[in-house]
Structure 1
Amino acid sequence: MAQKATKSLAAANTRRLNQTLTATVAIHLFYWLLRALLFRSSYTRKSLLLYLLFSTPQLLINFIFERQSRPTALADGSVKRAGEDLEAKGLTEYMWDVTYWTYGCILLVSLLGDWAWLFWGIVPVYSAYAAWTTYTGMRGGFTDAAGVPQPGASKRQQKMEKRGGQKVQYR
């Protein structure tokens, strides 16, 4: 039972990374096969440049996940390092969003053509929106409803809110 959390994190990371690697290879092969077999006449240097430009962030993210989150084991089978948690909130979550969105865009481009790369433009727009809402929240001190007396409350209620709310009396 020693290191149970480490072993379970290592198993979860290995499973998720293997699934991601399989999905990445399958989706990129699907793109290349359709381009080579069906849409050969419409394939140009511009298409290759767009593919490299828009798929590179996803491939770099996969590489980062592999380097940081792939567990390492010792010769006796014990886990030396479980790796970073792939279910973490924040940047890791955003990186998964970019990965999945790129998968969708590659599939759309495979079926519809190069103009579907326009859908990938939603990623920077979402990033700007998330950064702006974070900035305005920090600028305001995150005081939307916490600690601010309600304007329609009586003076007594405002004083109690200012002191920290109602106190519970024990007998």
Structure 2
Amino acid sequence: MAQKAVKTLAAANTKRLNTTLAFTLGIHLVFWLFRALVFRSSFTRKSLLLYLALASPQLFINFLFEKQSRPVNAPDGSIKRAGEDLEAKGLTEYLWDVTYWTYGVLVLVTFLGDWAWIFWGIIPVYSVWLAWSTYSGMRGGYQDAAGVPQPGAATSKRQAKLEKRGGQKVQYR
């Protein structure tokens, strides 16, 4: 059972990347088919430029995921590199949000028209909100839901109980 974690990560990455690739191709193919066959009159240079400008970040993100997270196998069949974890928190999570939101906007644009591209503008607003909340959290010293600063792992359960009862106070330096 050597490298079980590597094998598990490689299998999970492969499955998720294959699903994402199929979904991306399907969404974009439906978009182009509807634009070419059903809504032929709305197929203009403006709509092409909007598509290229607003769908290309999602396509770039998919390329990035493929490049960084697709497992690489050695010639003997063993796993040479499992790739980056696609379930990671932080930036990877945000990139998945952009991908899924772009899917939704593409579906809306497919059936409602070019004016629905305005929904894609929510992504930069969400980015600014995330950046601000991260900045204010770091500046404020990471507080809990009640707004009470957390000193970290410095207090044990016993110390917390004593402080709650008003007993022995622990002074932090």
Q: Work out whether the TM-score is over 0.5.
A: yes
Q: Which residue of 2 aligns with 1:117?
A: 117
Q: Which residue of 2 aligns with 1:151?
A: none
CA distance in 1, matches of 2:67, 2:124: 25
Residue 26 of structure 2 is aligned to residue 26 of structure 1: yes
Residue 159 of structure 2 is aligned to residue 160 of structure 1: no
Unpaired segments ≥5 residues, structure 1 = 148-153, 165-171
Query: How far has the Cα of 1:139 moved from its partner?
Result: 1.1
Query: How far has the Cα of 1:142 moved from its partner?
Result: 1.7
Query: How far has the Cα of 1:111 moved from its partner?
Result: 0.3
Q: Which residue of 1 aligns with 2:99?
A: 99
- The two structures have a TM-score, normalised by structure 1, of 0.87
Q: Which residue of 2 aligns with 1:66?
A: 66
Aligned 1:4-153 pairs, distance under 5 A: 4-143=4-143, 144-145=147-148, 146-147=150-151
CA distance in 2, matches of 1:64, 1:16: 14
Residues 76-128 of structure 1: per-residue CA shift (max 9 Å, x gap): 11100000000000000000000000000001000000000011111110110
Q: How high is the sequence identity, in percent, across the aligned residues?
A: 66
Structure 1 stretches of 4+ with a deviation exceeding 2 A read 156-159, 161-164
State the one-letter code of the partner of 1:162: Q
CA distance in 2, matches of 1:53, 1:5: 39
Q: Which residue of 1 aligns with 2:156?
A: none
Cα 1:41–1:13 change in 2 (3 A) is: same
Query: How far has the Cα of 1:158 moved from its partner?
Result: 8.7
State the one-letter code of the partner of 1:103: Y
Calculate the aligned-residue CA RMSD, in Å: 1.9
Q: Which is further off, 54-63 or 135-144?
A: 135-144
Larger Rg, first or second structure (1 or 2): 1
CA distance in 2, matches of 1:12, 1:71: 10
Unpaired segments ≥5 residues, structure 2 = 152-162
- The two structures have a TM-score, normalised by structure 2, of 0.86
> What SS does structure 2 have at the residue aligned with 1:80?
strand
CA distance in 2, matches of 1:104, 1:158: 56
Q: Which residue of 2 aligns with 1:150?
A: none
Higher relative contact order, chain-length normalized (CA < 8 Å, sep 6+):
1
What is the total number of aligned residue pairs between the two structures?
157
